[in-house]
Amino acid sequence: MAEGDSRQNKVYNAMNRPLTILGAERRLFFVALITGGAIFSLMHSLLGGIALFVVGVIVARITTKHDVEILRVLMNSAKFRRRYDPMKWQSTEIRIARGRDVQG
């Protein structure tokens, strides 16, 4: 190929969409399903299990709209607790310099 030629590849939208079930990311959906099933098994309450499942799916849909990878972030947050401590506060000075303000 010559230097001026550009290469174009087709990318389908389906490849970039998250895998969802009922609008919730699939892992969060299964977390809601398992917790609803656990309440049904442990408490012998069909209504409680269904209610917890429905609430879990609604919360999962909201979190999926906000951030698809939130479950991965939450699971990995325990690994980086020492490095990223939210209770440690350090002030950071940010200075915005425009082209004419920069000394060079």
In a domain, 62, yes or no: yes
In a domain, 58, yes or no: yes
Walk along the chain (104 residues) and give the pLDDT tens digit of each residue: 566 678 888 877 777 777 889 999 999 999 999 999 999 999 999 999 999 999 999 999 999 998 888 888 888 877 765 655 667 777 777 787 776 655 55
Task: Give the pLDDT of residue 69.
Answer: 85
Range of the domain at 32: 13-76
DSSP annotation of 84: S
In a domain, 49, yes or no: yes
In a domain, 2, yes or no: no
* Total count of domains within the chain: 1
Q: Which residues contact 64 (CB under 8 A, 6 or more apart)?
A: 18, 20, 23, 24, 25, 28, 70
Other CB atoms within a 10 A radius of the CB of residue 50 amount to: 13
In a domain, 30, yes or no: yes
In a domain, 7, yes or no: no
